């Protein structure tokens, strides 16, 4: 039976994060920010200045009581022990921030915004050291890669997925999901002529603990898993995860890092085992990704015809599928009172806790 935590306010919960010490933070519309203990009791609630929606929260990987929160164009730093006014507020983006990520040593923060930019803030020097600009539409998600300093991935509503070298402020590899989807001949989609599918606008991103595998959730309902090798990445696996847009993907931690949870606009929350793939479900070599030359003149369109990829994901099925009912705003993994759980935020002012049990 799922457990419901009800917020001390009536706004929709948009994002969640869990600290290494089991403190849960939830961000909601109109600047509402709440922290909870493991039992689901609110232990702090504030309304951030400006009253803009809280879109993303990241706990410091180094100091469990420090959290970073994006609201509007602002990014605030808070202390969960003295949960009042922000300790500090940065305004580094020109448009609304959609997603933030902090690197493992808590020295860099990346913020993806509506203009398509990713700003990289040096948290010690307190200034923007890099501005990554390549997305041509809203940048919806960004994540540093564990174990790979100076490396991050981003995705956006321009359907592009980018691997960046942060130091050089330049993309190393770009893949356009629309071009990719033309090669994905899935058998589970009995595509009839003239039938239209939603374009693969990329909504969500998650990097596995190894730092070498990441996945992306898109508007076409598909989840795509990519493998990074050096300065490039290739699609390794794809599957239809949801009947509508995939708003959330989230690789589980360490020992089960090939498990991923997803949430969709179809109101479902699923658990997938991407490690169970057979060679048949693996994609063959992707001919369409292009290494970027200095001239930036290579477009992903080149070479997009004539390639048939015969081995596709046929039978990856959800290990767990929960009919949550409401559109999913956020999913997060948590270990609460010794049991492994998934926290779900939706357009209500409640957080739903499902136990994962033994996997
Ligand atoms: C950003 O922060 C400033 C100062 O705290 C506040 O006045 C402003 O309303 C905030 N803007 C947004 C968009 O949140
Ligand atoms: C985080 O960023 C700093 C500053 O660039 C870098 O020195 C450090 O190696 C990064 N840490 C990791 C683990 O990526």
What was the pLDDT predicted at 307? 34
- State whether the beta carbon of 37 lies less than 6 angstroms from ligand 1: no
What was the pLDDT predicted at 359? 53
- Position in ligand 2 atom list of the atom nearest CA 145: 14
Q: What does each C-alpha distance from 180 to 74, 124, 138, 171, 199 come to in angstroms?
A: 35, 39, 20, 18, 11
Question: Can you tell me whether residue 161 is helix, strand or coil?
Answer: strand
pTM, rounded to two decimals = 0.88
- State whether the beta carbon of 151 lies less than 6 angstroms from ligand 2: no
Question: Can you tell me whether residue 94 is helix, strand or coil?
Answer: coil
What was the pLDDT predicted at 356? 87
Regions of the chain short of the pLDDT cut 50: 187-188, 278-282, 284-314
- State whether the beta carbon of 113 lies less than 6 angstroms from ligand 1: no
**pLDDT tens, position by position, 243-292:** 999 999 999 987 777 899 999 999 999 999 998 654 334 454 444 444 44
Residues written for the chain:
359
Task: Name the burial class of residue 354, with classes exposed (0-12), middle (13-18) and buried (19+) by CB atoms within 10 angstroms of its CB.
Answer: buried
On whether the CB atoms of residues 38 and 336 are closer than 8 A, the answer is: yes
- What are the structural domains of the chain? 1-91+329-358 (2.130.10.10), 121-180+197-274+308-325 (2.130.10.10)
Question: What distance in Å separates the CA atoms of residue 327 and residue 307, rounded to the nearest whole number?
Answer: 36
On whether the CB atoms of residues 24 and 57 are closer than 8 A, the answer is: no
What was the pLDDT predicted at 311? 40
Ligand 1 pocket test, pick from 30, 55, 74, 114 with the greatest ligand atom count within 8 Å of Cβ, gives 74
Q: Residue 131: beta bridge partners?
A: 119
- State whether the beta carbon of 273 lies less than 6 angstroms from ligand 2: no
What was the pLDDT predicted at 192? 53
Q: Which long-range contacts (CB under 8 A, 24 or more apart) does 78-86 make?
A: 78/33, 78/46, 80/19, 80/23, 80/25, 80/35, 80/44, 83/35, 83/43, 83/44, 83/45, 83/46, 84/46, 85/46, 86/48, 86/49
**pLDDT tens, position by position, 289-338:** 444 433 333 333 333 333 333 344 446 889 899 999 999 999 999 999 88
Q: What is the dihedral of CA 312, 315, 320, 325, to 10 degrees?
A: 70
On whether the CB atoms of residues 356 and 342 are closer than 8 A, the answer is: yes
CA of 69 from ligand 1 middle (Å) equals: 13
On whether the CB atoms of residues 282 and 295 are closer than 8 A, the answer is: no
Question: Can you tell me whether residue 256 is helix, strand or coil?
Answer: helix
What was the pLDDT predicted at 197? 74
């Amino acid at each position: 039976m799922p457990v419901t935590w009800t917020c001390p306010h009536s706004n929709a919960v948009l994002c969640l994060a869990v600290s290494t010490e089991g403190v849960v933070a939830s961000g909601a519309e109109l600047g509402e920010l709440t922290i909870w203990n493991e039992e689901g009791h609110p232990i702090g609630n504030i309304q951030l200045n400006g009253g803009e929606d809280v879109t993303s929260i990241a706990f410091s990987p180094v100091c469990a009581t420090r959290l970073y929160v994006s609201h509007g164009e602002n990014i605030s730093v808070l202390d969960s022990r003295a949960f009042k006014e922000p300790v500090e507020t940065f305004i580094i983006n020109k448009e609304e921030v959609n997603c933030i990520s902090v690197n493992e040593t808590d020295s860099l923060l990346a913020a993806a915004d509506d203009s398509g930019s990713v700003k990289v803030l040096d948290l010690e020097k307190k200034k923007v050291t890099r501005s990554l600009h390549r997305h041509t539409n809203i940048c919806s998600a960004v994540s540093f890669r564990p174990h790979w300093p100076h490396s991050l991935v981003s995705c956006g509503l321009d359907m592009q997925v980018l691997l960046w070298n942060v130091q050089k402020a330049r993309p190393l590899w770009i893949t356009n999901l629309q071009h990719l989807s033309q090669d994905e001949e899935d058998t589970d989609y009995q595509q009839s002529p003239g039938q239209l599918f939603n374009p693969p606008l990329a909504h969500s991103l998650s990097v596995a603990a190894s730092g070498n595998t990441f996945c992306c959730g898109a508007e076409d309902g598909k989840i795509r898993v990519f493998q990074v090798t050096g300065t490039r990445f290739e699609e390794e696996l794809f599957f239809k995860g949801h009947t509508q847009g995939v708003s959330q993907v989230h690789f589980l931690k360490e020992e089960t890092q090939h498990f991923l949870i997803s949430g969709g606009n179809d109101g479902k929350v699923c658990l997938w085992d991407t490690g169970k793939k057979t060679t048949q479900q693996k994609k063959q070599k992707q001919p369409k990704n292009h290494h970027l030359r200095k001239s930036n003149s290579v477009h992903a369109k080149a070479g997009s015809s004539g390639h048939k990829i015969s081995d596709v994901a046929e039978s990856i099925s959800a290990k767990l599928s929960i009919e949550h009912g409401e559109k999913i705003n956020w999913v997060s993994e948590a270990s609460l009172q010794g049991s492994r759980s998934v926290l779900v935020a939706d357009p209500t002012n409640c957080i739903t806790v499902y136990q994962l049990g033994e996997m």
